[in-house]
Structure 1
């Protein structure tokens, strides 16, 4: 079965992202496919290259990067939600005349159309967070 996942919660503000990560791993273990993970609202904080949790905590954003790299999963970040929260890729940093960018490798900024596309082209869209 082909899944897509939407994450609305930040990596450390609630359980949404970590629960979604565990769910994704369980799906892959059962040989399902995950087409896309879409980060929206505070979920966009999962894409920050600057997240640095204490050494005894799970680095949730890095875990998403690793999972995506190993299984060919798209990590898409809502561009409007990201820019509003100060998360920029190189292109957006230039567009807004910012001196730096902080979108982590493996994540892509895009619009809500990617979430709609995911819901149309997968068997199930599962949402985590409010």
Structure 2
């Protein structure tokens, strides 16, 4: 089965951990992940500037490692990211900000990427949200 996964929850929320565990289990069971799409507060899960306490799981690092290890398509909604100060180098330069907080394997892009993933996938699985 082909999955598109959308994450709406910030990394400190249980839904973010559930999304990662679901993605790991899906691949372990032989399924395919068409695209991971991070939206709303989920964009923080792709940010390299999030720091977890020493006694907590570093979910942003786990997501980054997972996406790299499986060569997955990790897309971060550009509109949601900009509103939350999650910028890649190009956007930081464009808006005159001093630092970028997102880097490979993540890609900033629009909601069209989510729509395209839904068309390619058998199922859209969403985690978190209002």
Q: Structures share a fold, TM > 0.5? A: yes
Aligned position for 2:58: 59
Q: Does structure 1 residue 5 correspond to structure 2 residue 37?
A: no
User: What SS does the aligned partner of 2:48 have?
Assistant: coil
Q: CA deviation at 1:16?
A: 1.4
Give me the TM-score of the superposition, normalised by structure 2.
Answer: 0.95
The aligned runs of 1:1-130 (5 Å cut-off) are: 1-12=1-12, 14-130=13-129
Q: Please, which runs of 5 or more residues in structure 1 have no aligned partner?
A: none
**1:32-65: per-residue Cα shift (whole Å, max 9, x none)?**
1112110000001111111111222111111111
Q: CA deviation at 1:119?
A: 0.4
Across the two proteins, how many residue pairs are aligned to each other?
129
User: What SS does the aligned partner of 1:4 have?
Assistant: strand
Q: Please, which runs of 5 or more residues in structure 2 have no aligned partner?
A: none
User: Is the contact made by 1:76 and 1:107 (CA closer than 8 Å) also made in structure 2?
Assistant: yes
Give me the TM-score of the superposition, normalised by structure 1.
Answer: 0.95
CA RMSD between the two structures:
1.0
Taking the aligned partners of 1:125 and 1:28, their CA distance within structure 2 comes to: 15
User: What SS does the aligned partner of 1:77 have?
Assistant: strand
